[in-house]
């Protein structure tokens, strides 16, 4: 379904979405990120539900499996 700019603005604000991260947590190592092409993905989190960039970040971030494994391995 088409998304209005106003709807997207509300989601961006509520998720506290930013075009860059201040640490090693970013969209392309988040469990909700589904890569479309290099550097561009779709966020499948129901509260975001939009195209996002690999280096972006929001407060809903949660580690994907690879990130959990890498961080547990130290």
3-state secondary structure the chain: CCCCHHHHHHHHHHHCCECCCCCCCCHHHECCEEEEECCEEEECCCCCCEEEECCCECCCCCECHHHHHHHHHC
Cβ-based nearer residue to ligand SF4, 30 or 65: 30
Task: Report 26-65 residues binding ligand SF4 (CB under 6 A).
Answer: 27, 30, 32-33, 43, 45, 48, 52, 56-58, 60-61
Q: Per-residue x/- mask for ligand SF4, residues 4 to 23, rule CB under 6 A?
A: -----------x-x------
Cβ-based nearer residue to ligand SF4, 23 or 58: 58
């Amino acid at each position: 379904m088409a998304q209005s700019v106003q709807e997207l603005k509300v989601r961006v604000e509520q998720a506290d979405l930013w075009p860059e991260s201040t640490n090693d947590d970013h969209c392309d190592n988040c469990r909700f990120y589904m890569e479309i092409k290099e550097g561009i993905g779709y966020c499948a989190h129901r509260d975001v539900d939009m195209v996002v960039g690999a280096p972006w970040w929001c407060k809903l971030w949660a580690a994907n499996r690879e990130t959990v494994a890498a961080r547990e391995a130290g």
